[in-house]
Amino acid sequence: MPDIDRSAIHKALTEKGFIHVPAKKHDIYILIFCEKKQQISTYMSRSSNYKSYGTNLLREMSRELKININELVGFVDCKIKYENYIELLKEKKLL
C-alpha cells in the first residue's frame, strides 16, 4: 500500500464533515453529523517526521474512523464521498 500525504488526508477529512482541532502535538479531527459532534474522531501528528502516512498509521486511522483501510484510501482519493461515509457508519449502527 502506498504512503498517503498528510495534507491529502487533512483535506479529505475537513471536506467530508470533520472539524479540525489543533492541539499541541497532534491535530484532532472530529466528525460532525446533524450539526453535532460525534464520537468518531482521529488524530494526526504535527511532527515534520510524518509528512506521509504508511500502512501502519493508515490502519490505525481507519480503525479510529470505523472503516477498513481500503475504504480510507477511497475516502482520501474522493472515491467515497461524505454521504457514502455516513451511510457506511449507519449500516454499522454507529450513527
Note down the domain range covering 71: 4-91
Q: What is the pTM of this model?
A: 0.89
Q: Which of 31, 75, 84, 33 is nearest to 53 (CA)?
A: 75
Instruction: Please give the span between the terminal C-alpha atoms of the chain, in angstroms, as a whole number.
Output: 29
pLDDT per residue as tens digits for the range 2-45: 899 999 999 999 999 999 999 989 999 999 999 999 999 999 99
User: Is the CA virtual torsion 14, 55, 23, 33 positive or negative?
Assistant: positive
Count of domains observed in the chain? 1
pLDDT per residue as tens digits for the range 61-81: 999 999 999 999 999 999 999
